[in-house]
Amino acid sequence: MLEGELDGHLEYERHQRSKDGNSRIGHSKKKVRTSFGESEISVPRDKDASFNPMVVPKRGNMVDGIENVILSLYAKGMSNSDIEEQIREVYNFDISTSTISRTTEKVAEDIVAWQNRPLEPVNLIVWMDGIVFKVRESSKVINKTVYVAMGLRRDGKKKVLGLWLGKNESAAFWMSVLTDIKARGTEDILITATDNLNGFTDTIRNVFPESRTQICVVHQIRDACRYVVWKDKKAFTADMKGIYNAPNEKAARAALEDFAQKWKGKYSYAIRKLEGQLGRTHRVL
């Protein structure tokens, strides 16, 4: 592979005549670390010393995904000393903690740049939700929430606006998320799609007063099904599809009336929840 790279760099193959005076001048020895351990290879050289191979760059000594292994272990919460020990045990060679630190710092810089990048001034829709993860912290396993905001731009493309880490999902933390989104350049959001978190709608209006909030259909269905016994849930949710798959408000209301006639006798509270949610949804649209 290295010889092929040098052929491309010099624009002629071995035993051919040089086009610009630059030519091969032998090889140099270099030790590299791979998933099979440490090896010594011969790196071809050129007269002008302008050849910098992509397989094993100058001043680089790790190939075959070792850097990816370091980043993967780092992302799983291992310390630099733990990563050093793990690589020694698995790959049978030593790598210094300073090398590991330099590798992870490159990613950290990219993360900070991504977290602070400018955003589109207008998003048609922004979906917001929290994902709860079990995290080990100070020898204890606790819940932490990753707050996710996904935006639909005017060109029709979806982009992740950001990821924020918090203790538990709350309207108060979402306020800091929305403030960050606005500070990075977003001036208006036409529609925000959220769950039924208490106080979420008011929080959004404080930062983006013109934005309309629409409760996520999945959360609406889950909310209504909380009042339905297990043996009826499959039929109940199947009948709801006629409401949410309706092409317009008139058809949705007609489907809701049929649905209510069938289920109101057993689950009147769930029907009232759906009626209120449908009203909010279609006023937005």
Q: Largest Cα–Cα distance in the chain?
A: 91
CA distance 65 to 74: 14
| One domain for residues 242 and 229 | yes
State how beta strands 140-152 and 158-166 pair: antiparallel
Under a CB-based contact definition with an 8 Å cutoff, are residues 133 and 121 in contact? no
Output the CA angle 132-136-140, nearest 5 degrees: 110
Residue 56 within a domain = yes
Q: Are 161 and 210 found together in one domain?
A: yes
Q: Domain range spanning residue 41?
A: 2-112
Residue 63 has pLDDT above 70, yes or no: no
| Closest alpha carbon to 269 in 236, 238, 237, 224 | 224
pLDDT in tens, 116-154: 999 999 999 999 998 988 887 777 888 888 999 999 999
Which of 65, 88, 112 corresponds to the end of one domain? 112
| % pLDDT > 70, the chain | 86
Q: Specify whether the CB–CB gap between 201 and 195 falls below 8 A.
A: no
Task: Looking at the structure, tell me whether residues 183 and 267 fall in a common domain.
Answer: no
Considering the domain architecture, whether residues 275 and 222 belong to the same structural domain is answered as yes
Same-domain status, 162 and 206 = yes
Q: Is residue 117 part of a domain?
A: no
**Which tens digit of pLDDT belongs to each residue from 197-248?**
888 889 999 999 999 988 877 877 888 888 888 988 889 888 888 888 888 8
User: Which residue among 197, 215, 233 closes a domain?
Assistant: 215
Same domain (yes/no): 141, 204: yes
